[in-house]
């Protein structure tokens, strides 16, 4: 490639979000360059979604077997960590991105490896490992898809402690004897589940009074009980004050704010994310380095005039979830294509090029034991948003035959939050074995604002766990009849 090249669209970051933006822009006939400083496929493919679920699935599969009479007797030994790590390595292709790089070439986009930085309006300078700089000019748009990184708290001794982040937690092939997990969010509960299942003695420290605090309160309660049943030492309302690790190969001691100490072999901090925007040249276009990028519903950055800069995925801070970022990438790529062609944004077979789901229908799933899944608003969020709501709960294992057949002593709960004035769903939360596979039906109901009266005609198959939909509707009807 020449040291100065021009494209219709330049995308910073070749992870799944950048790939989706590129695919939609290419479908619109635009010339696309993708810039990647690490591996094509990004955090999700190599250090987050894919490896974490590869580690978790054997743990959860074993837990499922142990919940079924006649099957649990076949389990005669512990889980095999080398086998689990080998499976993980296959799914991350041994951290080889050549197949994903081939995909980029296959859609007709140009891959430029190196560290890309904005160097003015519609201009990106790429610093390559060879020391060469390449200047890419965008005729229509630059899309920032650089993602986020683990945010470590500023604590005394944290540098010397060399803590794990999500990357260490998903690419390690050694099971520590003792592991402390700091943080009660999604990464914390999933990695506590995985590493306890792999044989580590795990202590989970959460600053708040519950786990997964952005979900319905019962979610954290059930997951906390599941973690404790698995042998995790769960400590709520506790924070780390300082860390000590004098020997790089030795244990690390955590001083806690309840005046106790905890000594472990490794400590994982899962305490939030920060945008990877500190070194991408934001200052050259009037933005603050290291900041989240506020966007409109087409993912166009609001603070940049002329509308040429877009940001999709974690960097816009709307929903730090891969599937939401991919959705945003598709919207951004299609919107850029429509604007480049001078066509309206809402007259395509795909509908309007606006991220409407970001406002009210964001799905999320956590692969713990039990699993947790939710879409839309919690009951509290719905009330705070000014809705008049009714909340309907069922104990899945008590009323759903498919759940009883799925697991002896099935333990789980489902909740739907109903907008009472127009009678459609604002949110659904599911907890229990296999719950994540039920999430998309809930997402369709919430995103489509399907009326309760119509949902009665979506007949669930017996005897599957999805029969919980019928039981939820019956509970709603019964509450109606009591009024």
Residues flagged as binding site: 53, 116, 146-148, 183-190, 272, 314
Q: Rounded to an integer, what distance in angstroms lies between the CA atom of residue 334 and that of residue 310?
A: 12
Q: Rounded to an integer, what distance in angstroms lies between the CA atom of residue 220 and that of residue 426?
A: 20
Whose structure tokens read 């198959």? 461
Q: Is the dihedral of CA 82, 86, 87, 91 positive or negative?
A: positive
Report yes or no: 131 and 82 within 8 Å, Cβ to Cβ.
Answer: no
Report yes or no: 204 and 188 within 8 Å, Cβ to Cβ.
Answer: yes
Cis previous bond, 118, omega within 30? no
Pick out the residues of the known binding site for NAD(+). Answer: 183-190, 272
Tell me how far CA of residue 162 lies from CA of 97, 186, 462, in angstroms.
Answer: 27, 22, 51
Residue 257: strand, helix, or coil: coil
Residue 126: strand, helix, or coil: strand
Question: Would you give the DSSP letter of residue 300?
Answer: B
Q: Rounded to an integer, what distance in angstroms lies between the CA atom of residue 96 and that of residue 255?
A: 39
From the list 52, 53, 54, 61, the residue with the least C-alpha distance to 79 is 61
Beta carbons within 8 Å of 283's beta carbon, 6+ residues apart: 289
Tell me how far CA of residue 160 lies from CA of 97, 264, 265, 426, in angstroms.
Answer: 32, 14, 14, 46
Question: Would you give the DSSP letter of residue 198?
Answer: T
Pick out the residues of the known binding site for FAD. Answer: 53, 116, 146-148, 314
Q: Residue 387 has which token pair?
A: 């809705």
Beta carbons within 8 Å of 374's beta carbon, 6+ residues apart: 215, 216, 219, 363, 364, 427, 428, 429, 430, 439
Measured in degrees and rounded to the nearest 5, phi and psi for residue 105 equal -65, -35
């Amino acid at each position: 490639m020449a040291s100065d090249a021009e494209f219709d669209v330049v995308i910073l970051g070749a992870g799944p979000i950048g790939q989706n933006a590129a695919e939609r822009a290419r479908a619109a006939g635009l010339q696309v360059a993708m810039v990647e400083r690490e591996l094509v496929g990004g955090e999700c493919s190599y250090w987050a979604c894919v490896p974490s679920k590869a580690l978790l699935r054997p743990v959860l599969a074993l837990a499922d077997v142990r919940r079924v009479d006649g099957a649990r007797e076949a389990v005669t030994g512990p889980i095999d960590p080398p086998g689990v790590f080998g499976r993980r390595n296959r799914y991350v292709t041994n951290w080889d991105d050549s197949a994903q790089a081939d995909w980029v070439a296959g859609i007709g986009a140009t891959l430029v490896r190196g560290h890309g930085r904005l160097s003015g309006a519609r201009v990106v300078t790429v610093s390559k490992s060879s020391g060469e700089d390449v200047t890419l000019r965008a005729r229509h748009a630059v899309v920032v898809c650089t993602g986020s990184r683990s945010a470590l708290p500023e604590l005394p001794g944290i540098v010397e402690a060399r803590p794990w982040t999500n990357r260490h937690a998903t690419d390690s092939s050694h099971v520590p004897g003792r592991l402390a997990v700091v943080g009660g969010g999604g990464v914390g509960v999933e990695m506590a589940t995985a590493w306890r299942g792999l044989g580590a003695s795990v202590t989970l420290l959460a600053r708040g009074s519950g786990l997964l605090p952005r979900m319905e309160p019962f979610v954290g309660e059930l997951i906390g009980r599941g973690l404790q049943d698995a042998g995790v030492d769960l400590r709520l309302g506790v924070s780390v004050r300082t860390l000590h690790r004098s020997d790089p190969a030795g244990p690390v001691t955590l001083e806690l704010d309840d005046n106790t100490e905890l000594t472990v072999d490794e400590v994982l901090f899962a305490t939030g994310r920060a945008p990877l925007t500190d070194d991408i040249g934001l200052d050259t276009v009037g933005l603050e380095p290291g900041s989240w990028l506020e966007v409109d519903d087409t993912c166009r950055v609001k603070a940049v005039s002329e509308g040429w800069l877009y940001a999709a995925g974690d960097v816009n801070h709307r929903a730090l979830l891969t599937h939401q970022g991919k959705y945003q990438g598709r919207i951004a790529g299609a919107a850029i294509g429509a604007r480049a062609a001078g066509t309206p944004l809402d007259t395509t077979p795909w509908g309007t090029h606006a991220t409407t789901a970001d406002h009210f229908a964001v799905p999320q799933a956590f692969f713990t034991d039990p699993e947790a899944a939710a879409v839309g608003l919690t009951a509290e969020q719905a009330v705070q948003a000014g809705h008049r709501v009714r909340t309907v709960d069922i104990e899945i294992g008590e009323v759903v035959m498919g759940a009883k057949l799925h697991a002896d002593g099935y333990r789980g709960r489902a909740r739907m939050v109903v907008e009472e004035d127009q009678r459609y769903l604002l949110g659904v939360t599911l907890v229990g074995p296999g719950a994540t596979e039920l999430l998309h039906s809930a997402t369709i109901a919430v995103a489509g604002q399907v009326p309760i009266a119509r949902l009665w005609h979506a007949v669930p198959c017996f005897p599957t766990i999805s029969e919980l939909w019928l039981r939820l509707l019956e509970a709603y009807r019964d509450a109606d009849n009591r009024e």
